[in-house]
Structure 1
Amino acid sequence: MRFDTLAQHGGYDPKEHRGHRSEPIYVGVAPVQPDSETARRVFVGEEEGIIYPRFGTENSRMVEKRLALLEGGEAAETFATGLAAINCMLFALTKPKDIVVVQERIYGGTTQSLKVFFSDRRVIFVKDMNDLDELSQKTKGLRPKFVFTEILSNPTLDVLDVKKLAEFSRRNKAKLVVDSTFATPVLSRPLEFGADIVIHSTTKFINIENMGGIVIGQKSDVQMVHEAAKFYGATCSQYDLKETLKGIRFLPIKVRRQSETALEIARFLSRHRAIKQVYYPGLPNSRNYYLAKKYLPDGCGGMLAFETHGTGKDTKNFIDTLALISNVVNLGSTWSNVTYPQETTHSILDPETRLSSGITETFVRFSTGLEDADDLLEDLDQALRKISN
């Protein structure tokens, strides 16, 4: 089946669920086991079955199968949040003193989690992961266990050269992990370029309004994550999983439309006198343009960012003047919103790390929804004019 068909049917057969065309929600906690031997075999993983939610449910397996098919992975494991997926994956596949190489410009929550919960690992932050000289220099004489990056960085929209990073990882016998939340499998599938593991916060574009996260990759890696997940305790609820399945069905249409509108907005902002800089790899003057053509040929997604002229106070006045576009600390929904990372998503970082991550007091992250592009442009223009007069 092709991609759009898999988004509707992948990993689900109505015949296995009493003929229900729409995936049912399986409520409850522990199903009755037919006999003691079956209970034992299912519990220890010798036989596939449902025994307890932390070990997997009907709904989690539907989501795992479908997203694994869309990403081209062998297996997947769902979690309650994207950060839980990252943390459990690292707990499962690394040990104390292992070297983990991480892109510096990534989601602030990931950075802080690595510093707080993985202080017993040696975490090396690299400013530009596409600069193989810097990467080699930072890891000279070392043997990295993991290389962690975002294919579209949050929030500066850097595009990572996955193929080159995969080659570097293989030379060092390290695993390449790519967070593809901003791209979704609609626009890019990192496993096809050599990544070992792909992670999504399904809370964002995939699910829209419900929490979730997923790890996708080879069976051997995912099995280790699965064993850790049994006792990690970040199990996604059945309701959230059902909503994830619903979100996947609309994902191809939604993401393509968001990508088209985001490009229009980026072009508009790049010409506006109140804007200092626009971060969107779909613009020809972006330093990421050629990598975007390689890894995101069908569009660069619904996320963009920009810096306004003036001060942080001016930027916050702009945000507060927006009428249609909401101020929300999330992204990927069907309505558009802005986020002020300096005081929200990246506020937990120390000032030096925050600045290194590209976050200034005039920086704004923009998530494109499904509104008419002209309405969004008018709202942006009226708010920008008030701070540029």
Structure 2
Amino acid sequence: MTTTYRTAALLAAGTLTALLAAPAAAAAPRPDGPALDGSGECTFPMKKQIEGIPWPLQRVLLDELWQDTKGKGVRVAVIDTGVDDVNPQLRKAVDAKAGKDYLKPDKENPGFGDEKRGKTDGTVDDVGHGTKVAGIIAAQPRKGTGFVGLAPEATIIPIRQNDEKNSGKSDTMALAIDHAVKMGAQVINISQDTTQPLGPDSPMARAVARAIAKDVVVVASAGNDGMDGAQKNTYPAAFPGVLAVASSDRNNERAAFSQSGDFVGVAAPGVDIVSTVPGGGQCVDNGTSFSAPYVAGVAVLLRAKYPEWSAAQIVARIEQTAVRSVKGRDPHVGWGVVDPVRALADIGPGTPPSSPTPDPGPAKPPVPEAARLALTETPQERSERLATYALGIGAVLVAVVAGTAVVIRDSRRRRGVR
């Protein structure tokens, strides 16, 4: 049995559109960069780049984040709508030879640009979604833009498994996961979801289990159906061992569209997210689709820095170092909003726990010690006390004697006695 996939990505005027809907007509570009249309998409390629540093990167000290590694040597599979390797920020990052396309060629729309016609290596991306996902992970620095991926030296394995027609199925997703493992992926990003329940014996569940058994970190978006506030599982995010990612906003709170549920592991920025588009340039979009690769980028850096760590330890580290808004786990943002720098900070000797379940909330502050009540005094204190008493008594006696003398003198004067 197969399940139609939706790519968790797009928003329209406060309401969720049909995910991966056909792109609407774009608005005219603004002088300061690409314009958004009603769905959050943009035309591509973009002739103008977004110059400023996107807000999620403004919160990250990149020099500190990259002091040990930029992800070199780590292979991460992006199972999506394809990954364009023409965009200058991704050209050197994409391993087209390892890629694969699980969709039949579209004769009416064979691919972006003439150079893409007939390609079956996963580098066709008519939608732009997969290219945005890949850029958040591994876009390399480029003059004229402040946008860069969290792991700019990582290698992307492009796998095209879905398109604007929602052609992706659970069975082809299973094949894509197996291909990613075969091609040496150490991290797999899946920014797609279905709410149809999938049991442990489904092809995709078994493929996910095989990937985790091969020590692959599997990161998946939680989905964008959270506007109604209902908690429900989405797949593959809710499969055991998968790190499910919700979206957070600029206030580190759950984005209104982000799906909630007990399966959510962490949250990451998912509102007004800048990333690469096919052909060149960048665009802005919203969704848990773009929160997941943010976390996948952190996982890539951890795999590069700690190659001896297991996938479960990588997940545990990301969860444990997240910024928590409540004690323990929350169904809206999981263990909190991912903190890349904190996750990559040196931890000293030893390794994280083998279980991905982190400690339940921050440690309680120590209880202040009660003040000691002394029932006796030291000899010095006693001497000082007695000396104070003696001075006080002496002053009183002097005052009494002086007062008595004045009274006697006045009495004699009144009687005429001299």
For the criterion TM > 0.5, the same-fold answer is: no
Q: TM-score, normalised by structure 1?
A: 0.23
Larger radius of gyration: 2
Q: Which structure features the higher share of helix residues?
A: 1
TM-score scaled by structure 2?
0.22
